[in-house]
Amino acid sequence: MAYSGNFLLIMNKVGPIDYSRSCLIIKFVDLGPDGDVPFYEHVLLERHIQNFPSSPLIRQFMELVCVGLGRNPYWTVEQKLDHINWFREFFNEKINVFNETVHTGAVKSSTTAAATKPASTFKPKPAATPAAPKAPPVVPPSPPSPPVASKK
């Protein structure tokens, strides 16, 4: 298959199949200003997060942002890059606040020990022990009857 303008040409071994004679032309939606931008520019955005602070938390967050932007078909590549650059400026301005919260223990990074949960005031009620099942009364077997002597 080949893309020519706004029309799809389907190629066979001999040459293009002319669907215009049978009125079977497939018309694509106009892609606007991003029509000439390659597909990978829209989807593979991780290469744009190289100049971010070296924190693993920021890195993981920005990888998720890039995945979300790569799945967004409504934004142009320029809008996606502006969004990434906004985060770059934000994290570079707030890196001191970020470092203070991570190093004081308010936020645990993924490289430090796992954070412990704060003490909770919730105390569940103790579970009532279930009653023992009632067993049917045991009836002792009746004694065997004495053998009856036969008369001969």
Q: Is the pLDDT of residue 21 over 70?
A: no
Identify whether the C-beta of residue 45 lies closer than 8 Å to the C-beta of residue 66. yes
Residue 3 has pLDDT above 50, yes or no: no
Residue 107, pLDDT above cutoff 70:
no
Residues 24 and 37 in one domain: no
Is residue 119 very low, low, confident or very high in pLDDT (cuts 50, 70, 90)? low
Which structural domain range is residue 75 located in? 32-110
Contact predicate 41/31, CB 8 Å: no
* pLDDT above 90 coverage of the chain, percent: 17
Whether 48 and 16 map to the same domain: the answer is no
1, 42: one domain: no
Q: Which of 43, 50, 47 is nearest to 71 (CA)?
A: 43
Q: Is the pLDDT of residue 100 over 70?
A: yes
Cα 119 from Cα 16, distance rounded (Å): 72
- CA 152, chain centre distance (Å): 94
Confirm if 6 and 28 have CB atoms less than 8 A apart.
yes
B/e letters for 70-89, b = 16+ CB within 10 Å, e = fewer, are beeeeebeeebeebbeebbe
Q: Please tell me whether residues 20 and 78 are part of one structural domain.
A: no
Same domain? 38 vs 106: yes
